[in-house]
Structure 1
Amino acid sequence: MPTCPLCASPHSRHFHHDSRRDYYRCENCRLAFVPPVQRLSPEQERAVYDQHQNRPDDLGYRHFLSRLFEPLKSRLAPDAHGLDFGAGPGPTLSLMFEEAGHPMAIYDPFYAPDTSVLERRYDFITATEVVEHLFAPGHELERLVALLPEGGWLGLMTKRMTSEEAFARWHYILDPTHVCFFSEASFEWLAKRLGMSVEFPGADVALMQKR
């Protein structure tokens, strides 16, 4: 069985197959994931992302991002500095926070690949519709949390897996770039592992605070 990309446990089991891929679930952290041999290449990934039409002047997109923006903003101190990790081809959440008085840096491996921003410290870090794309979410999220001070926030936005029964009908698995599927139990495991608290202010939002 493939090793879990979140907790590195070898204890996973196959629970679903469709015409394109297989899906496993970790018995330890409850993450569902696609095995490495069935992931897209970086070139194939980029081709999918290039089709995204997200723009800062799209009010519908801003409304979508507000599901993370509003609850996180209400928890930040004035002038808190942030990083938007996985900002995509049309950075928008970072602009929303800057408009609210929070200076921002951005990082994206395809569209803003300046790794020097990953060597700084931040009061908060956001990742909207990102973690489901990560090949090594355990490593990447641990690296991000290391950039936060005590009391710092990690704001994540991704649709959560609710049950294995509903998984086969879930539209979220149709995107070929989605390879990791978190449940509440996965986030609770992660928070404990990283020394953080976690709350769920929305169906697809997780806010984690460093103790």
Structure 2
Amino acid sequence: MLCTLCNSPSTPFYEDKKRPYFRCSQCDLIFVDPQTYLPQEEEKAIYEFHQNDPNDTRYREFLSQLSTPLVKKLAPGMSGLDFGCGPGPTLNLMLEEQDMIMSVYDIYYTPDSGQLSRQYDFVTCSEVTEHFNKPGLAWPQLIDLVKPDGWLGVMTWMFTKETVEQFKQWTYKNDPTHVSFYTPRTMQWIAQHFQLSIETVNDRVILFRKNKVAL
């Protein structure tokens, strides 16, 4: 099985009743067998159950894990894109409240491809990268949206353990729309491969900075 991110050889890592998981020997991505991906209509039906309410204080607190450290890197008036905003865009509103100029894009809910034809001072991607069924294509697209010297803020729950038994107990894998799982080593590989600086805030939030000049 070839890795869906870096196309390197991968080995079986774990298998439950629904799908097998593989782990890449090069970038350390853990991913499910592509043959088990849900059809788009089934995937979207699951998203419909997400309770993403901009007025939900708890949801805002959750998103603030990303917005708070990111805003410290930004200046008022900067342009940003919330990539994968979902059915109830909220992060963009929180950043607009911090005097940012925001656009949104979502493959299902706001599929305006025009938003992907320009670059931004920063891009946010909250609880999205784990849904990438072709991360080897999606990550370059995501990074290309960021201006040189700009920021890419990513929120996804990284797998910080090592053993199969620990992965078995990890609830994040149980969502059938989650197909790509990142470890700290995966994020370091992404930073190195795409020539980005990286700041790991915690096991859910990573800030990448696009270098002005290739290293």
| Same-fold status (TM-score > 0.5) | yes
Deviation at 1:164, TM superposition (A): 3.6
TM-align CA RMSD: 0.8
Q: How does 1:49-128 map to 2 (within 5 A)?
A: 49-128=47-126
2-side partners of 1:96 and 1:173: how far apart? 28
1-side partners of 2:172 and 2:209: how far apart? 27
TM-score with structure 1 setting the length: 0.97
Moved over 3 A (4+): none
User: For residue 132 of structure 2, what is the aligned residue in structure 1?
Assistant: 134
Deviation at 1:138, TM superposition (A): 2.4
Q: Percent identity?
A: 46
2-side partners of 1:58 and 1:162: how far apart? 29
Q: How does 1:1-211 map to 2 (within 5 A)?
A: 1=1, 3-9=2-8, 11-165=9-163, 166-211=166-211
Tell me the secondary structure at the aligned position of residue 149 of structure 1. Answer: strand
Deviation at 1:35, TM superposition (A): 1.1
Contact persistence 1:128–1:158 (CA under 8 A): yes
Deviation at 1:20, TM superposition (A): 0.6
Deviation at 1:118, TM superposition (A): 0.1
Contact persistence 2:67–2:91 (CA under 8 A): yes
Deviation at 1:123, TM superposition (A): 0.3
**Structure 1 letter corresponding to 2:196:** M
Is there any run of 5+ residues in structure 2 with no aligned partner, and where?
Answer: none
Is there any run of 5+ residues in structure 1 with no aligned partner, and where?
Answer: none
2-side partners of 1:91 and 1:46: how far apart? 16
Deviation at 1:163, TM superposition (A): 2.4
Deviation at 1:143, TM superposition (A): 1.2
Contact persistence 1:67–1:202 (CA under 8 A): no
